[in-house]
């Protein structure tokens, strides 16, 4: 167990940066029934050594799915917009690529599936993000019963992580190799 979220983030992000290359989520995601059945998926545009989402977004758009991408607000909350295609994204805060039209913070509640970024995820569904609270706020708006997956590498699925009351748990870890179902609390 990590002594704090800060220590966990520091260690895990250092290991991620040391990876020889970033893995792609396309094959592992498109082999999942939930992806094949979803009509509207909330996703994100990967950056740097994160598990790569570009090919997955392209596949979703090419197969007629609607992709919601986050728009980072000044207060670190997230709005959502429909992906028009990678070439039509606009520069956003902190180097993010965002859709040009904002549907607001509650648009995530219309998704059939949510795939969010994470630094790590614990076997009990605790997700460790980058520390701004953006995704914890957004995931709190997801309709109960909607699958929520955290995109990580296999080595970032750990036994336990520090957790706070506001932390939102996820149902599964999507890695470039597979989908790992997680144990969640009884109240889910």
104 is in an annotated binding site: no
The domain segmentation of the chain, as residue ranges, is 5-177
For the segment 1-20, what is each residue's pLDDT rounded down to a tens digit? 788 999 999 999 999 999 98
Bridge partners of residue 149, in order along the sequence: 115, 172
CATH class of the structural domain 5-177 = alpha beta
In whole angstroms, give the CA distance from residue 105 to residue 68.
Answer: 11
pLDDT at 32: 97
CA distance 26 to 57: 8
CA–CA distance, 2 with 176 (Å, rounded to integer)? 24
Q: Please indicate if the annotation marks 81 as binding a ligand.
A: no
Residue 131 assigned to a binding site: yes
Residue 132's pLDDT is 87
Tens digit of each residue's pLDDT, the chain (188 residues): 788 999 999 999 999 999 988 899 999 999 999 999 999 999 999 999 999 999 999 999 999 999 999 999 999 999 999 998 656 888 888 778 899 999 999 999 999 999 999 999 999 999 999 988 999 999 999 999 999 999 999 999 999 999 999 999 999 999 999 999 998 654 44
Contacts of 145 (CB under 8 A, 6+ apart): none
Q: Does 134 belong to an annotated binding site?
A: yes
Q: Is 97 annotated as a binding residue?
A: no
135 annotated ligand binder: yes
Residue 30 CA to residue 120 CA, distance in Å, equals 22
Question: Is the Cβ–Cβ distance between 115 and 142 less than 8 Å?
Answer: no
Query: Quick one: pLDDT at residue 85?
Result: 64
Q: Please give the pLDDT value at position 184.
A: 67
**Which token pair is 68?**
């919601």
Q: Are 71 and 99 in contact (CB under 8 A)?
A: yes
């Amino acid at each position: 167990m990590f002594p704090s979220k800060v220590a966990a983030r520091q260690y895990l992000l250092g290991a991620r940066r040391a990876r020889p290359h970033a893995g792609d989520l396309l094959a592992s995601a498109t082999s999942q029934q939930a992806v094949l059945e979803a009509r509207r998926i909330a996703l994100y545009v990967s950056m740097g050594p994160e598990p790569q989402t570009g090919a997955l977004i392209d596949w979703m758009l090419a197969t007629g799915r609607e992709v919601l991408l986050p728009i980072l607000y000044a207060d670190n909350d997230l709005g959502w917009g429909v992906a028009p295609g990678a070439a039509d994204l606009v520069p956003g805060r902190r180097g993010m690529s965002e859709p040009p039209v904002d549907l607001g913070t509650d648009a995530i509640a219309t998704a059939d599936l949510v795939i969010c970024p994470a630094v790590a995820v614990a076997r009990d569904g605790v997700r460790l993000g980058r520390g701004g609270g953006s995704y914890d706020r957004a995931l709190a708006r997801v309709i109960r019963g909607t699958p929520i997956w955290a995109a990580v590498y296999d080595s970032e699925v750990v036994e336990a992580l520090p957790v706070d009351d506001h932390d939102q748990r996820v149902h599964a870890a999507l890695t470039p190799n597979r989908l790992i179902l997680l144990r969640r609390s009884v109240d889910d």
